[in-house]
Structure 1
Amino acid sequence: MTDLSMPLMRKGPPKLADAVDRITQNPAAHEMRDPFDIGDALTTLALTGEPVTVYPFGQDFAMARIDSVDPEGKVFTLDLAEHGTLPKGKTVFVAALGSNAKVQFELDAAPGAVADRPDLLQFPLPAACLVLNRRAEPRLESPLGMNYGARFSMMGKVFEMPLYDFSRGGVGLRATPEQALELYVGKKLEGVLLELGSSLIVSADLEVRLLRPFRTFLLGPQVQVGCRISNITMQMRQTLERAVGKMQKRR
């Protein structure tokens, strides 16, 4: 279950301009059916306040946000931007998931009322979600048992985080909830040393593009920190590209 105790910067009420198009037939999209993953994805949307575009069958779309998720009760609550009722029947929900993906699911259930909260609608958690990754660069997972990590200083503190994936254009870090308190989407990290194996260190400036809480069996609550490389020397970029190319050949 996502760690709800970690505060994230929640977006304001959604506007029509925030609408996200439905995922049409796309071979790059994949289906997610694990209840844990589905609950985690919807909880992330609730924590960040990401706009959800609601497409009732045969009706104009509406904008909303997920207010809360109850994985044990297998329900979530929806807060419509313009309060009202949704028509019964098939309804498609679409939202951006971070900066590199979007998620879509369909429900064929009438929304239920929420006690003492007439502004909210309750729905069952979907059995499946369609996920479309939109990364510009394919990311490679860091090999197990090797030194892949990031080290940088901020506000007089030294941060060290494992690197779980990387590409020519960005990296994914794994932070503790305490470390993530110092970060927010848009935060710029200067002079980050990226250790890619035992003999390669690349220096780059990063920009945080995604903060996603999750939980692991061994480590407990963790936070995925997706970063875009915003400044790197040509020599360092060529070195990174060679490292990516070499690992792609191995796979």
Structure 2
Amino acid sequence: MNDIAAPLTRKGPPKPSDALSRIGSTAEPHEMRDPFDIGEALTALSLSGEPVTVFPSGWIEPLLARIESVDPELPHFVLDFSGSERPPAGKVTLIASLGGNAKLQFDLDQSWKPTPDNKMHVAAEFPPSCLVLNRRAARRVETPVGVHYMASFRIKGNLIELPLYDFSQTGVGLRATPEQCFGLHVGKKLEGVRLELGPNLVINADLEVRLLRPFRTFLLGEQVQIGCSFAGISMQMQQTLERFVTTGAVERRSVAR
């Protein structure tokens, strides 16, 4: 029960309660235009079976679907409307949750004709852009390429070293293979984690696993995003992290817990 098997299980057909609202007019999403990033987001949704809410133009009540498959080479993806109905020809807005901490939204305009092998499957090209609304309370900083950002900790006596892909004042995001995640589960406490935040800051902190999300990259294959929050950090560390997140600089090399 404590391994990665449960989080990697694909969700079942969407329910009416899964429907999401559009990103509000007062929100401040950022725009994602890189086809690589769009492909990764769609692939993550396909692997997890996350519900996709579909609003045809002029409709108040949405349709529900899942992403059945993604082909980044074409590039296109297949939507499965089983249990719902296909949209009428024209423009639709699609919304989905990414890992529980972000909302993805994009528009498509097409005939919505079914694929030859399944009347509830519809193929669509990648959108040229997507809106992404990040719901994290704290500013997130993505780790730069080529700089050493690592987390080191022990599980049952085994040393685990994982790269950081982002961090904030409230927590860190790690990246791992599915094999490296055995022994991890949502709610798992990680004590005495050594965090190397580039060449200028090393801290030791306790973490709590808050998110396990499978995804696939074109270069590395199956990966798992591990979202962790800090557990009981000192005021000194909070101030140091705030300064580091804001300016990218700290005054000394190491900070004790």
Matches of 2:19 and 2:85, distance apart in 1: 18
**Residues paired across the two proteins, number:** 240
Aligned pairs (5 A) from 1:162-181 = 162-180=163-181
Aligned pairs (5 A) from 1:12-23 = 12-23=12-23
**Superposition misfits of 4+ residues, deviation over 6 angstroms:** none
Query: Residue 22 of structure 2 aligns to a residue in which SS?
Result: coil
Q: What amino acid sits opposite 1:188 in the alignment?
A: K
| C-alpha contact (below 8 Å) 1:189/1:205 kept by paired residues | yes
Match of 2:252 in 1: none
Change (3 A) 1:14 1:222: closer
1:86 to 2:84 alignment:
no
Match of 1:244 in 2: 242
Matches of 1:89 and 1:68, distance apart in 2: 22
Match of 1:129 in 2: 130
Match of 1:139 in 2: 140
More divergent stretch after superposition (108-117 vs 63-72): 108-117
Match of 2:24 in 1: 24
Match of 1:112 in 2: 113
Change (3 A) 1:226 1:136: farther
Matches of 2:196 and 2:120, distance apart in 1: 50
Matches of 2:230 and 2:81, distance apart in 1: 36
Tell me the alpha carbon deviations over residues 129-184 of structure 1, each in whole angstroms, 9 at most, x when there is no partner.
Answer: 11111111012234666653212223453211122321121101122343246545
Tell me the alpha carbon deviations over residues 214-246 of structure 1, each in whole angstroms, 9 at most, x when there is no partner.
Answer: 5376xx34735242326324x2x5314323324
In structure 1, stretches of 5+ residues that fail to align are 1-6
Structure-2-length-normalised TM-score: 0.80
More divergent stretch after superposition (125-134 vs 195-204): 195-204
Query: Residue 113 of structure 1 aligns to a residue in which SS?
Result: coil
Query: Residue 8 of structure 2 aligns to a residue in which SS?
Result: coil
Structure-1-length-normalised TM-score: 0.82
Change (3 A) 1:180 1:232: same
| C-alpha contact (below 8 Å) 2:63/2:85 kept by paired residues | no
Change (3 A) 1:123 1:227: same
CA RMSD of aligned residues (A): 2.7
More divergent stretch after superposition (241-250 vs 73-82): 241-250
Match of 2:205 in 1: 203
Q: What amino acid sits opposite 2:205 in the alignment?
A: S
1:97 deviation in Å? 1.0
1:8 deviation in Å? 2.4
Tell me the alpha carbon deviations over residues 33-90 of structure 1, each in whole angstroms, 9 at most, x when there is no partner.
Answer: 2222211111111111111111011222111111111222322111225243321111
Matches of 1:223 and 1:157, distance apart in 2: 20
1:126 deviation in Å? 1.4
Query: Residue 84 of structure 1 aligns to a residue in which SS?
Result: coil
User: How high is the sequence identity, in percent, across the aligned residues?
Assistant: 41
Change (3 A) 1:176 1:143: same
| C-alpha contact (below 8 Å) 1:177/1:221 kept by paired residues | no
1:206 deviation in Å? 1.6
| C-alpha contact (below 8 Å) 1:140/1:167 kept by paired residues | yes
